[in-house]
Amino acid sequence: MLREINTFKLPVKQKKISGVKIKNIKASAKTGRQKRNNIDRKPQEKKEVLPKGPFKHAGKGYRCCLLIFVPRSTLSAVINDLSGRYGYSHLAIDCGEVDGPTGKRVMVESTIGVGVHISFQDEYSDRNFVRIPLDNIGINTNEFCGCVRSKLGEKFDRIEALTFGILHNPAEQICSDLASACLPHAVRADIARFFRAGFLHPLTSADRQTDPNKENYLFVSPNSFAEYFGAPRGKNLTGPDQLSQPVLPTHRITRLRSVFKIISMSLGRLGHKKR
């Protein structure tokens, strides 16, 4: 039966499509691909050997960061489209460590089939990603990374990924869970507050909190983290490992208020001169 299916051929009638129509279809597909220029479609480098450690801190100048990656495949492009289209689809965490035997920088991530594990930061080759430091916005990065490491070995939460946070198993993690589950309660509450206020795209997060003082679950997508921390859109990245200092929504609002105040004062002066 399998052999019959594999050798099944389309009817000869399909060959009647004109050459002009075929060219139009190819041109349309090419145009569609060009419009999605923020998607890295190069095949992922398959590295069977994961870093085994021991791991050590890389030294001064190496900071705890979120690494947020642009889409690389059709599946990751769908993830981006369904979570706000900010341009990202995967998240990993750099705790400022290197693999002892190789000296290469490592990160913690959760992927399908492997779960939560440590991998090399060059695993995705030249795939574009943004680096967001967390050490200068009031986060205890030692506690944060300790929480992230405690989840090593946990399975990937397929159900949560399919339902975008509607269903969640606390013992399993998707990529962005590593950050959202380990961030301080104050930061999670702030993300939820700005999400409810409409400052974050309605598809980037799923807020399950009824009482802001309770430690309820909050689903945050890679797009939501990028938007919350003020990172550039994925399509605007010029290469891999692009540094983006976090600018929280509160600071962005303050800047906007200052701009509006200057504009209103200028308009007021112009109106006064005309009189």
Higher pLDDT, 95 or 196: 95
More confident position, 114 or 210: 114
- The encoded tokens of residue 216 equal 């309820």
Is the pLDDT at 101 greater than 90? The verdict is: yes
Place of tokens 């504009």: 263
**pLDDT tens-digit map of 42-58:** 445 555 578 988 999 98
Counted residue by residue, the chain has a size of 275
User: Residue 256's pLDDT band (boundaries 50, 70, 90)?
Assistant: very low
Domains of the chain, first to last: 55-260 (3.90.1720)
Q: Are the beta carbons of 36 and 81 closer than 8 angstroms?
A: no
pLDDT number for residue 166: 76
Q: What is the pLDDT of residues 62-86, one digit of tens each?
A: 899 999 999 999 989 999 998 899 9
**Looking at 5-9, 27-31, 37-41, which range is the least confident one?**
5-9
| Residues 212-222, mean pLDDT to the nearest whole number | 69
Percentage of residues in the chain having pLDDT higher than 70: 68
**Bridge partners of 97?**
57
Q: Return the pLDDT at 219.
A: 84
Contacts with 184 (C-beta within 8 Å, 6 or more apart), sequence order: 139, 140, 144
Q: What is the pLDDT of residue 27?
A: 46
**CB within 8 A of 10, min separation 6: which ones?**
none
Q: Is the model's pLDDT at 188 over the cut of 50?
A: yes
Kindly tell me if the per-residue pLDDT of 252 is higher than 80: no
Q: pLDDT at residue 141 above 80?
A: yes
Buried b (16+ CB within 10 A) or exposed e, 73-85: eeebbebbeebbb
Integer Cα distance of 125 and 122 in angstroms: 5
**pLDDT of 161 strictly over 50:** yes
Q: How far is 226 from 57, CA to CA, in rounded Å?
A: 25
Contact assessment for residue 107 and residue 241, using Cβ atoms and an 8 Å cutoff: no
- Least confident among 17-21, 57-61, 75-79: 17-21
pLDDT > 80? residue 157: yes
The amino acid present at 123, given as its one-letter code, is: E
- Cα–Cα distance, 249 to 190 (Å, whole number): 9
C-alpha to C-alpha distance for 203 and 71, rounded to whole angstroms: 17
Q: How far from the centroid of its chain's Cα atoms is residue 115's Cα? A: 17
Helix (H, G, I), strand (E, B) or coil at 130: strand
Number of C-beta neighbours around residue 70 at 10 A: 25
Task: Give the confidence band of 189 by pLDDT, cuts at 50, 70, 90.
Answer: confident
The reported pLDDT for the residue numbered 216 is: 54
Residue 113 has pLDDT above 80, yes or no: yes
